[in-house]
Amino acid sequence: MSKTQTTIRVDEENYLKAREILSQIGLNYSQAISVFNNMIVLNKGLPFELKIPNNQTKQALHELEVKDGKTFDNVDELFADLDS
């Protein structure tokens, strides 16, 4: 199988963090990109789901941002609320 060389531009801080993580699992950046590329081919698309958030998800994210969501003192209260 022949190889081709390519150039990509990525955020430097994330690149350095990714390299450190990859080195801990025994991969270099080029190898990880090859794995990602192979997964795209195997999945005939990205190897994870990308979605536009629906209104319910947008509302939940907004509540998190403004810290306006429900809070519970313990897990029993949480489950009671979920059951209601």
d(C-alpha 10, C-alpha 6), whole Å: 13
3-state secondary structure 39-69: HHHHHCCCCCCCCCCCHHHHHHHHHHHHCCC
pLDDT given for residue 67 in this prediction: 85
Separation between Cα atoms, residue 60 and residue 39, nearest integer Å: 31
Return the structure tokens found at 62.
């907004």
pLDDT at 69: 78
Domain spans of the chain, in order of start: 1-50, 51-84
Mind listing the pLDDT tens digit for each residue in 22-81?
999 999 999 999 999 999 999 999 999 988 999 999 998 898 889 887 889 999 999 999
- Structure pTM? 0.59
**56-83 burial, b for 16+ CB within 10 Å, e for fewer?**
eeeeeeeeeeeeeeeeeeeeeeeeeeee
Q: Which of the two residues, 71 and 16, has the higher pLDDT score?
A: 16
Model pLDDT, residue 38: 97
